[in-house]
Structure formats: C-alpha cells, structure tokens
A and B are shown apart, each in its own frame.
Chain A
Amino acid sequence: MGQIVIRDIGIPAIRFGICQRCLSADTRSFMCHHGACRYCRNCLHLGRLCQCDFLGEEDSTTPVESTNLVMPFELLADQKHVSRQLLIWWKSQTSGLVHAVCGAGKTEMAFPVIERVVNEGKRVLIVSPRRDVAIEWAERLEHAFSVPITRRYGGGDKDTIDMITVATAPLLLNLKHVFDYVLVDESDAFPFAFNMALWQTIRRAGRGVFLFVTATPTVWQRQFPTIHLSRRYHGHDLPVPTLVKQTDEAVITFCRRETPRLLFVPTKADLVRYGEWLEANGFTCKAVSADTNERTDVLEWLETTNGIVLATSIWERGMTVRGVDVAVLDSEHVLFTSRGLIQMAGRAGRKPDAPTGDVVFFYNERTFRQDRAIKAIKQANRR
C-alpha cells in the first residue's frame, strides 16, 4: 500500500542475494562499515540498498480529489466506440488491449476512462517507455485535467503520488499496490518487451487492472480482450511501404526530395557511416540516437528546414513530423523486427493537413519481417 522505503525495522532488504526492492539478482558483496555485506546494483538510482538495511512501506499518497475533464477536441465515432469499451472494461475490472494504428489519437481516447477512475477515488498510472514520451503525456494531461499530475520520470518529483501519475518504468520499482488503473503506453517498446522483471514491477505497482495500448501487440499481449482501431483520426489510409532495392542511386534519389526526410538505420555505427556517405554526396544531415541529448531540437530543425535526419530505432515511436517521408535503410537487418518496421512506417502522414507520406524500405535482401510488416499495414487499411 505505498512506497517501499528504507527503514530501521521491516523486512531485510536483500535476501538470498535477491534485492527485495527491484527483485534483481545483481547484488555484489563489499565491505560495509560492520563487515561483509551486499548491495544491489540494479536500483542504485533510488538510493543504495544494502543488506543491513530494512524495507518498510510508507503511505505517500495524497488525499483523494475529484477532477473535471476538458477534452481537447471532440472524439470521432471510432474513438468514442473505443473509449466506451474502455469504460465497460473498467466497470467489469478487466484488463484489456487497445490495438490502434499509429497516429489514431490513442492519448485522447483514454481520457474519459481516466476521468471516471479518478472521480471514483481511484489512482491512475500511465507508464511510458521513454522520458520524452512521458513528458508529452504529462503536458497533454495537464491541459485536460484539473488535478495535479505527478511526474515520476528522471527529473520529476518523486515524493508524493497524486491521483494521476505519469512514469517511466524504472522509477516504479519502489511502489507496491498503489494504482487501481494502469495504462501501459507502447507496451511492446524496448524496456517492456521480453523483460519480465519490468512487467513484474508494473504488476506490483498496480492492483490488477491494466490497459495495454499499442499499434503492434506482442503475442503475449494478445491474450487480453482486444479492441481494434484501424483508422487514423483524419480518416486516411496508412501509407503502405514500397520495397526498393538499395542502390546508391535509389537512396540519393530519395534524399533529393523537398520534404523532411527521415532515414532509419539499424545501428549507431551505421549512423556514422551513412552520415559520412551523405555528406560526401553533398547533403547536410543530422544524426539522432539514444546518446543525442537535444532530440526535440533536431525534431524542430527537421520540421522547419525540410532537412534530412538519420535516426536509429529510438525514434520509431512517439514522434510526429509534418509531411515527413520515411526510409528504412538496410531494412533486412535483424534489429528491424516487423513490429519496428510497422512503427517506422507509422511515422509518415500523421497530421490531418498532411495525411500522406512516402515510406520506402530499402533492402539488400528480402526478409519475412518486411513482408509481415507490409501485410499487417495492408490488413489494417482493409479493416
């Protein structure tokens, strides 16, 4: 019922070499002031946990408030259908999966159910895979809701828990059974996919009702009752990728376009390689990877100057550029899963005033992953 804190009395912090806060086995022995001891390396960012510490629980929730909701825009018929379904799921306390295509307005669809949950005096958690996505969520929620939003990501406040919390997964480690409704955004993205420990922490932070929201659910997530939304909110089709054999001329022809161009490459080494190659051919481009600190600046630069940006898969989710053309270089690379390719294709044509965009998969070899991605996009367009 609250935050797990270090106390003088309680359960031992590390038992059998397993950290009881983050459940990781990466504990190391060292000489504490009293002798041999162990500490956990996995949750150092929450303060070091030593074997000689004890864990207790502390109620850090704020008093219950009610909220009013101001919708940023009127929901369309499709979206209303989904949000009605979410309310039904909440009423029957079932977990569910929203399988909505990229750019369907997933954020706003969840607002009615969040309002309902909060007004019933329950707490809501929104988990997002990355910090910039969390910031965007928090800003949109702040505009729509009258209650304060807790920001539980790196740089936010981490002391109290209000009615609505926006968080990244690593900062949920010390919460236990707090949130009655947990919305997992982009639930197949990097930290969540195949990481059962993170799923365990999210499950421990929640109280049993979850909502997964994604465009590309994993097999595991499909076990939950699913609702589909296969139309973007502006009603246009998803751009279907074209497969083009990767030759120098083909890539240069793509780069000669006037629109903003976003080129995805598999690894950071490729970022440098293709960057130099494009410079040699007389293009100016910027590179974006997980190490780039000012990613939003690059985004603005791309939108305003119609430039070229080389990106790793860090940008495959949660970013929108007006009228962008997307290319995936070396799309046969193992790191480009079919789900990743679908997400990258979904970067194009997200704005209502520029609803189309070109998506090109450059290939050296054909793979089933490319075919599966194209098939899934076509299927969503038919639905």
Chain B
Amino acid sequence: MNCLVCRKPMKVPWSPATLLKRDWVCPYCATMLTPLEQGCSRCGHPTEDGRTCDDCVRWLALGLDLTVRCLYVYDEAGTNWLHRFKFSGDVALIGHVADGLKRTREPGVKYVPIPLSEERLLTRRFNQADVLARGIGPTHQLLSKAEVSSQRELGKEQRRHRPNPFAIHKTARCEKIVLVDDVYTTGTTLHQAAFTLKRAGYEEVSAVCLFRALNKSKTRPI
C-alpha cells in the first residue's frame, strides 16, 4: 500500500478496517499539517490566554458575529498541501484531512460551501470548498458568486474593502447553517457570505475553515 500523500510504499497496520479503508497516510505525512491550538474563541488565531483577537474585535465592531472553526495552521506545509489540492487538482488528498473534518460534524446542520464563480468553476473543474463540505456532511449550495478578480495578490486593505460578490442562489428550510471554506486570511469572504445569508433570513450561521493564515506579527492584525 502506498501513502496517499507522499505515494511511497508503507506498511499498513492490520485490523478488520484494513480491508475497507483505501486512503492510508504514512506516519511522517500524518504529522505534516500543524493543528491549530486553542486561541481566539471566534476564529482560532493563537492569542494570549484565549482572548478575542484584534481581527475579530474589528469584525465585531462592524456588527458581524460569526464563529469560525479553523483546523490547521496555514504554514509552509499547509500552503504546499493546499496548492496540490486546489491548483494541481489532487482531490483525493481530502482523505488526509477527512478525519479532522468529520470531527467537526454536528447533527441537524446543513453545510454550505463557498461557491466559485461560473468561469472559475469551468477552468478549475471542481469547487474545493464543495469537496471539503462533502467530507463533513450534507451540503446545500445556497449561494452564488459573481466573477471577481482573484484575491491572491491583494494586500490586507484591498482585501477588506471589496463589494459583496455573493447572492442567494436558492432557498432552503434549514435550522442551522455552517459555511465551509479552505483558507481564512482576513475573513472577508466568510463574513460577506454570512452577511448575505443572514439578510436572507437564516438565523444561525457559523463557519468551518480548513486553514487559518497566521498574522505576521502576533500583536498587530494583518
């Protein structure tokens, strides 16, 4: 059996599950991604004694309350991992984080992936947030997104002040909604999506995010 991530041969521990499980990760690759330790109660960014981080204080001042559950630190290994997953299109890598994603699952919740615009979906062929959301639980595509330029090269200020590209795609009756995205950098995308959903009448909205990008300096937010 080869490791899912590094594709090198590895020994598989014998158990009845051996016959059912296909995606095995070798012990070296299993520790590749750094899990996020306890930090800000709202976004998971590491802070002293778990107080709300300055980024979140700013969002709260705007009257936007959204709890984001982040799983891993967006460091060097995380960047490489996400690049392989998203831009090289190695969708099977989801098996590497599937256990972590499954653990965030709650009963009676609809998972809403952050959509891609039509044009982007045609070039990338798949929605990475949709793949993540399917890894957690039942999904519902409630949002649609207009074509906007990529955020990758933008700075923090330009990222924050962007028009809301999200619109309601269709409506559904659900109690609680959890948004799913891949990276939380400034949080603009998730907050804009949550704002759109709340305005459409959904009461409870929270979010799950795979990676949390850490601020360069611990004191000053991005």
Contact = CB atoms under 8 A, between A and B. Distances in A.
Interface of A: 28, 30-33, 37, 39, 41, 44, 48, 50
B50 interface: no
Contacts of A48: 88-90, 125
B88 A44 contact: yes
The residue among B7, B90, B134 with the most chain A CB atoms within 10 A of its own CB is B90
Given A31-B126, A41-B7, A48-B89, 19 more contacts: A28-B91, A30-B92, A30-B126, A30-B131, A31-B130, A31-B131, A32-B125, A33-B121, A33-B122, A33-B125, A33-B126, A37-B125, A39-B89, A39-B91, A44-B89, A44-B90, A48-B88, A48-B90, A48-B125
A44 B122 CA distance: 18
B88 to A, nearest CB: 5
A283 B91 CA distance: 47
Closest 8 CB pairs of A and B: A30-B91, A48-B89, A28-B92, A33-B121, A32-B125, A33-B125, A44-B88, A44-B90
Interface of B: 7, 88-92, 121-122, 125-126, 130-131, 134
Nearest to B93: A41
Contacts of A41: 7, 90, 92
Contacts of A32: 125-126
A44 B83 CA distance: 12
26 contacts: A28-B92, A30-B91, A30-B92, A30-B126, A30-B131, A31-B126, A31-B130, A31-B134, A32-B125, A33-B121, A33-B122, A33-B125, A33-B126, A37-B125, A39-B89, A39-B91, A41-B7, A41-B90, A41-B92, A44-B88, A44-B89, A44-B90, A48-B88, A48-B89, A48-B90, A50-B125
The residue among B90, B121, B125 with the most chain A CB atoms within 10 A of its own CB is B125
A50 B91 CA distance: 11
A137 B88 CA distance: 30
A88 to B, nearest CB: 42
A44 B84 CA distance: 9
Contacts of A28: 91-92
A29 B7 CA distance: 18
A32 B89 CA distance: 11
The residue among B90, B91, B122 with the most chain A CB atoms within 10 A of its own CB is B91
Nearest to A30: B91
A33 B121 CA distance: 7
Contacts of B91: 28, 30, 39
A30 to B, nearest CB: 4
A31 B92 CA distance: 11
Contacts of B88: 44, 48
Contacts of A50: 125
A51 to B, nearest CB: 11
A39 B126 CA distance: 12
A48 B121 CA distance: 15
